[in-house]
Amino acid sequence: MESADIIELKHSHNVNLGDISPSHRVAIVGAGCGDVELLTLKAARLISSADALIYDSLVSEDILDLASNECEMHFAGKRCGMPSAKQDDINQLLLACAKRGLKVVRLKGGDPNVFGRGCEEAMFLAKQGIASQFIPGVTAALGCAASAGIPLTHRGVARSVTLVTGTVIDDSCQTGVGWQALLTAQSTLVFYMGKELAAHIAHGLLTAGASIKLPMVFISSGARVEQKLSFATLGTMAEVASQLHVSGPTLMIVGEVVSVGQELAQLINQVECSKNNGISSDKDMSESA
């Protein structure tokens, strides 16, 4: 599906989802994991009707192409370890565009309120007399896991999911209390932006009592064409991370669900091989006849 096709989709009840409410001059929108087809219809319509688009580096070109040629495009960066605009500067830019009477879309990768500072920006604007609205996006944990074929919960294996930012390990984690809290019964752990701290995370979990054989996976550029899966265990996690050289964002999933996903992949591969062999056999029989 092309970007333009999404804009043309019509709502069955003719509700206009493409305009920012007059009482909400700014829409804080989640762009999802990168695949334009994972964008919500409301997000697509808001982007296409925006006067000003303030976007982060993880937003794909296909999604940016939804904006009109007249739309002001403001790049805000916000990528771990790379040059980015300061949050205060982004806040001021949002305010300035809104005060000019523009329909403003603040476009963030994933969901704006999952490690996205969406509410921080909304609160700043509200204190300046500008109301905003949130448009959810498919956060990385959901999009990457689905794209990799890994269930985040699975009966008898994982009954809960914990989303953790890997860029900040607080004092409670350093004392071991935080790590033990993460290892709640039958929980899948998903670390955002944690590849550089993989050794520290592995050490913390192992010290808290996790098994050295606990499976995990690094998902780089998840839900994109260049997606890469790198499987490991807590025991090999640090070594695998040190050898992982990718340019895209990397998510880490830790838990027995990773093995479930691998088993599913093997079963699907067997099904596909069986179908391919069947086609070959039918073709051979036809040619011999």
**Catalytic pick from 56, 103, 108, 111?**
56
Q: Do 107 and 134 share a domain, yes or no?
A: yes
Mean pLDDT of 31-57: 95
Spatial separation of the C-alpha atoms in residues 163 and 182, rounded to whole Å: 10
pLDDT band for position 122 (cuts 50, 70, 90): very high
**DSSP secondary structure code for residue 242 in this structure:** H
Q: Do 174 and 60 share a domain, yes or no?
A: no
Strands, sheet with 132-135, edge to edge from the N-terminal-most edge strand: 72-77, 52-56, 104-108, 26-30, 132-135
Whether 10 has a pLDDT exceeding 60, the answer reads: no
Both tokens assigned to 226: 């260049």
Residue finishing a domain among 138, 167, 201: 138
Q: What is the pLDDT of residue 11?
A: 45
**Catalytic pick from 42, 51, 65, 78?**
78
pLDDT digits (tens, 9 = 90+) for 264-282: 999 999 999 988 887 655 5
Query: Looking at the 3D structure of the chain, how many domains does it have?
Result: 2
Report if residue 152 sits inside a domain. Answer: yes
Q: What stretches of 73-183 show up as alpha helix (H) in DSSP?
A: 87-99, 118-127, 140-148, 171-174, 177-182
Q: What are φ and ψ of residue 282, in 5° steps? A: -65, -40
Q: What is the pLDDT of residue 185?
A: 77
Asked about 65 being catalytic, the answer comes back as: no
Report if residue 284 sits inside a domain. Answer: no
Give residue 88's domain range: 26-138
Q: What is the pLDDT of residue 90?
A: 96
Q: Residue 86 sits in a domain of what CATH number?
A: 3.40.1010.10
Asked about 35 being catalytic, the answer comes back as: no
Q: Residue 196 sits in a domain of what CATH number?
A: 3.30.950.10
Q: Do 30 and 117 share a domain, yes or no?
A: yes
Report if residue 177 sits inside a domain. Answer: yes
* Residue, of 256 and 186, whose pLDDT is higher: 256
Spatial separation of the C-alpha atoms in residues 106 and 134, rounded to whole Å: 10
Q: Do 265 and 148 share a domain, yes or no?
A: yes
Q: What is the pTM of this model?
A: 0.86
**Mean confidence (pLDDT) of the chain:** 88
pLDDT band for position 124 (cuts 50, 70, 90): very high
Specify the amino acid at residue 134: F
